[in-house]
Structures are given as structure tokens and as C-alpha cells.
Amino acid sequence: MKIQFLGATTEVTGSKFLLTTQQGKKILLDCGMYQGKGLETDAMNRDLGFDPKDIDYLLLSHAHIDHSGLIPYIYKLGFRGVVVCTSATRDLCSIMLPDSGKIQEADTHQFNKKRAKEGLPPVEPLYNMQDAAAAMRCFVTIPLDLDFALTPDFTLRFIDSGHMLGSSAIYMTVKEHQETKTLCYTGDIGRFNKKILPNPLPFPQADYIITESTYGDRLHPTIENAKQELMLIVKDAICKRRGKLIIPSFAIGRTQELVYALQQLKNDNNLPDIEIFVDSPLAVSATEIFRLHFECFNEEMQDYLQTDKDPFDFDKLHYVRSIDDSKRLNSYHNPCIIISASGMMEAGRIKHHLANNIENKRNTILSVGYCSPTTLGAKIIRGDKRVSIFGVPYEVRATVCTLEAFSGHADYQEMIQYLSCQNPQKVKKLFIVHGEDQARNTYSKHLTNAGFHHCCIPFYKEEVVL
């Protein structure tokens, strides 16, 4: 068997790893989109490194676009294999992929307007909503923790990785001649002691591991303090500064965690009496899918549901779907909280809220997740005083703060805690992916200290025989 690293090598987006078995089966692990670099990412997304028609199976760790976003693209190019994932991942993809198709169309439309002015011919979007809807026909779902024989020689098991609803590590057992080899792809690894989802679960001993390293060089504040920190930020933004608290957030997962945390503050009488708006149609749809998949929640949340049937709804919380209602928020001048996507501030309605509010020093912008270095989010967080939104320069006068405790990704200590289910000496190779170079290099040192002596930092398109 061999593996080729076709994405997420020197960055955290574009996860795509191609396994070719000795029997010639081609099995893709994730098919994620590169995000955050405009034209450059578009070219990277079109350079797949394989012919989609050759792929037999696509094993999908979770629904985030940087892991699933190119499925409609490969479908458009002739992929007719089977996408295997958990049922929550499938349900989330059914809203996220068409939404991504809509974004591709809108972005390309804008881009083509510029090209037309320069006398250049139009380009096609990567895919549209229809391609995304059609690609959903390839999905089949299997439960967590079940050994599923994809072929007589290839068995897989999804094991909860606690990163988002439906997310899982993929544990594979491959028979080649007389030998059995085991391989675990961790996908993205969640934090421990979260409020809604369970901890990432251990996986059986593996010969080979492919693991993420987003925060391979970082430690997060503890989750226990997250509610307290959020309360202090809300009080400062709302009670002291009397402004708006704008929270750019991933529509799926982070937004629901924030809503739940705000509800907890409200239950404790620690939330000012203000309106809270969740302005993202995708977040609204995602919240409905969260309500469908209570089986994915941790014990604390299951218990909480005995007393409150809907943890994602409370008095003065408003989900905003229509564009008109979203625009109406521009003329709402009372202190309030607006949660809107995208988390990296690159796309979606959050850009309008930033454009409308970033120059007012009464307002606060709170980042709650990872932002790729080239994104608008990263520029705002690192303290740039002038940023460009929709091509227009804006002064950053609002207060900018971050709250890392809500991160969807484990830090390096938590990732090593997660890997403590392994006897490091039995791991023949541990591939570090899904991280920027510094994070991957630092994490490699931490892993070596933890006894993993065969760490490998694969480069883009590198092929390794297992």
C-alpha cells in the first residue's frame, strides 16, 4: 500500500490523502478545499493530483469544508465512487456543500466582472449548488465504532474524534499478502472536557498514524475558564462600552457552542438583558441538524437535555435567515451580540457586520477560532490598524480580542494525551499534517519527547510506501 499527501501539508486547509492498495484500489482520505488565498487557492484546488474517475472510495473524517469541500468538484469531474462517513457528517455535508457551491458561484461572478472590464474571458466556478446536490448521491453512512469491510482486504472503523458533530478518526486494517497493516487517520482532534461533544476517543494500536497539528506549537487556556472569560468580555463590551459585540464564528459547531455558553450565562443570571442575533443561514440550518443528532452529545449535555429540550434556543436569541433581516441589523443601534460566519472573516455576512462596525470604538470584535495567516481575521487579530473589506479600506477602531478556549482543535498537550492510547514504539511512522511549518516542526519535537521516534513531516505530493 502507498499513501500520497495531496493537501494540508504546509497549511491547515485542503486535506487530501490518497491510499493505493496492493490490489489497486484507490481510497481517498478526505477531499478538502484550500481556503484563504484567493486566486492562488483556486489554482491549488484545481490541481488535484489524481483523476477523480479512478477513485473507488472516499473516507470522510468530518464535514468541515477544508476536509469535504472538493467532493462536488471531483463529482463534476467524473468521480462516481462511494463517500463513506457518519450520519451526522452526511447531514452536515447536505447543507454545507450546497452552501459552498453558492459561494463558489458568487465569488466567480464577482471575479468575472473584473475580468470583463479587462477584456478577459469568464472563468467557471469550481462547482455550483447543483453539482453539490448531485454529489450527495454518492454518500453512504456507517455508525461509529463498527468494523466495516469495504473490500475483503480493507476494513475501516470510525471513532469519535470530538472535533465537531459527526467527526471521527478513521482506523483502517489492510491485508496485503500474508501481512495485516493498521493505519489511523485522526482527522481533526477535538479538545477534552468540552460542553457539548465528547472527548476524542482512543483508537487501537496502529502501525501508521496520520495526525493533525494545527496547534502543534500552542497551549490553550483551560475550557473551565471559557465561560468566565466570555462573561467578562460580554460585560466589558455591553455594560461598559455600550457597543456591539461582533463574534465571527464558524457556522457549524463553534456557533452552537457559543449559543450554549451564552445560555449558561443567562441561566446563571450573568448575561446582560440584550438581544443576541445569530446571523447566518448556514448556522440556522446547522442548529437544526444538531437538534437531530443528540446521540453525538456528551453525557453532561444528555443530562442537561432532561431539563431543557432545546439547548440552542432561549429568550432574546434570534436566528436570522433572510437578507432583509440581516440588513436590518445595520440600523439596530442598541448594545447587542451578533454572531455571524465565517470564522476567518473571509466570506459570508460577517464581512458586512465588520464593515459597518469596525470603525466605531464602542464596538468589540471577538475572535473565537483559528484564522489562516492570510485571512482578514488574522490581520484584525494581529492588530492591523487598517484593513480592506470588499476592497474598501477601513480603520480598525473597535476593540479586538480573542478567546481561544472555544477552539475546535486540541493543543499539543491534548493531542499527545489523545495519542497516549498508543505504544509509541509500535508506531512505525507517524505523519504530521494539517499544520503550518512551525507548528508541524515543533509538534514533531514534542512527539519525539513523548516517545514517538518515527515522526515524518511529509511534503506536498510526497508518496510513501507503507
**Residue with smaller CB distance to Zn ion, 243 or 408:** 408
Residue 460 CA to its chain's centroid (Å): 21
CA distance 31 to 14: 7
Q: Among candidates 108, 96, 39, which has minimal Cα distance to 68?
A: 96
Q: Among candidates 177, 150, 117, which has minimal Cα distance to 25?
A: 150
- Buried b or exposed e, range 308-335, using 16+ CB within 10 angstroms: eeebbebeebebbeeeeebeebeeeeeb
**Residue with smaller CB distance to Zn ion, 45 or 167:** 167
List, in sequence order, every residue forming a beta bridge with 313; answer none if it has no partner: none
In 243-362, where do the E strands start and end?
A: 244-248, 275-279, 317-320, 336-340
Least distance between Zn ion and beta carbon 15 (Å)? 8
Least distance between Zn ion and beta carbon 294 (Å)? 21
Least distance between Zn ion and beta carbon 346 (Å)? 16
Least distance between Zn ion and beta carbon 67 (Å)? 6
Helix (H) or strand (E) holding 84: strand 82-85
CB within 8 A of 440, min separation 6: which ones? Answer: 10, 213, 216, 432, 433, 457
Q: Which residue stretches of 275-406 are H helix?
A: 281-292, 299-304, 323-328, 350-357, 376-381
Q: What single DSSP character describes residue 463?
A: E
**Residue with smaller CB distance to Zn ion, 64 or 429:** 64
Least distance between Zn ion and beta carbon 195 (Å)? 18
Identify whether 249 is preceded by a cis peptide bond (ω within 30 of 0).
no
**Residue with smaller CB distance to Zn ion, 13 or 155:** 13
**Residue with smaller CB distance to Zn ion, 68 or 357:** 68
Least distance between Zn ion and beta carbon 167 (Å)? 7
> 158 and 59 in contact (C-beta within 8 Å)?
no
**Residue with smaller CB distance to Zn ion, 76 or 434:** 434
Least distance between Zn ion and beta carbon 228 (Å)? 26
Is residue 399 classed as helix, strand or coil in its secondary structure?
strand
**Residue with smaller CB distance to Zn ion, 99 or 188:** 188
**Residue with smaller CB distance to Zn ion, 165 or 174:** 165
In the complex, which residue's CB is closest to Zn ion? 64
Least distance between Zn ion and beta carbon 62 (Å)? 6
List, in sequence order, every residue forming a beta bridge with 179; answer none if it has no partner: 176
- Residues at the site binding Zn ion, with contacts judged by CB under 5 A: 64, 188
Least distance between Zn ion and beta carbon 89 (Å)? 11
- The sign one gets for the Cα dihedral 253, 142, 35, 39 is negative
**Residue with smaller CB distance to Zn ion, 5 or 250:** 250
